[in-house]
């Protein structure tokens, strides 16, 4: 729980969009960043791709069109929250570059975080067994196996999770937020 007496007045919100393959570490880094921002007293909301799909986008499948619509909806909600001075952390595979760019265009304050881990590393981390099922043909249109992932061309932050700890990756995101003036620099590092 955070100290409400330390609540800060945020001048404007921002959308921090974590993109990468399943198992790259998007949600883990996002949770670390969320915890740190809450401790500092910032208003933060997390839009996790899996949770949004179960609630807001329940009727969508995994075709390219449905994936694009899923990201469009997440982007719309993120934009609404950010314009109300909330730091929005989005953790979603969002495999297609064009829809990520479309979301960037409708979101005035947007930071793209490429959570970079090789397909091999992601498959090794696969606690849900999704990659194994995709390789066996049990799951169709699985990103990285039979559906493409388009790597960001110019992300504001790149987290190489097969080389960095969670804390190191999260610190890169927090430092970018500081550098761009969305949060105030702390006296001590994480």
As annotated, the active-site residues are: 94
26-39 and 166-179 helices, crossing angle to 10° = 60
Eight-class DSSP state of 146: T
Q: How far apart are the first and last CA of the chain?
A: 17
Q: Which residue has tokens 């791709």?
A: 49
| CB contact set of 5 (below 8 Å; sequence gap of 6+) | none
Q: What share of the chain is helix, strand, coil (3-state, %, to 5)?
A: 40, 15, 45
Report the distance separating Cα 50 and Cα 164, nearest Å.
24
Give Cα 166 distance to the centre of its chain.
Answer: 14
State the CB neighbour count (10 A cutoff) for residue 117. Answer: 22
| CB contact set of 80 (below 8 Å; sequence gap of 6+) | none
């Amino acid at each position: 729980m955070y100290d409400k007496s330390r609540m800060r007045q945020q001048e404007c919100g921002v959308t921090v969009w974590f993109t990468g393959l399943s198992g790259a570490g998007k949600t883990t880094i996002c949770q670390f960043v969320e915890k740190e921002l809450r401790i500092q007293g910032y208003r933060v909301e997390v839009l996790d791709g899996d949770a949004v799909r179960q609630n807001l986008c329940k009727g969508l499948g995994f075709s390219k069109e449905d994936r694009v619509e899923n990201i469009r909806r997440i982007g719309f909600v993120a934009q609404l929250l950010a314009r109300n001075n909330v730091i929005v952390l989005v953790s979603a595979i969002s495999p297609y570059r064009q829809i990520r760019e479309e979301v960037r265009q409708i979101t005035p304050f947007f930071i793209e975080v490429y959570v970079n881990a090789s397909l091999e590393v992601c498959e090794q981390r696969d606690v849900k067994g999704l990659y194994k099922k995709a390789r066996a043909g049990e799951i169709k249109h699985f990103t990285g196996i039979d559906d493409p992932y388009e790597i960001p061309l110019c992300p504001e932050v790149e987290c190489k999770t097969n080389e960095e700890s969670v804390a190191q990756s999260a610190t890169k995101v927090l430092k970018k937020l500081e550098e761009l003036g969305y949060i105030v620099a702390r006296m001590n590092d994480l």
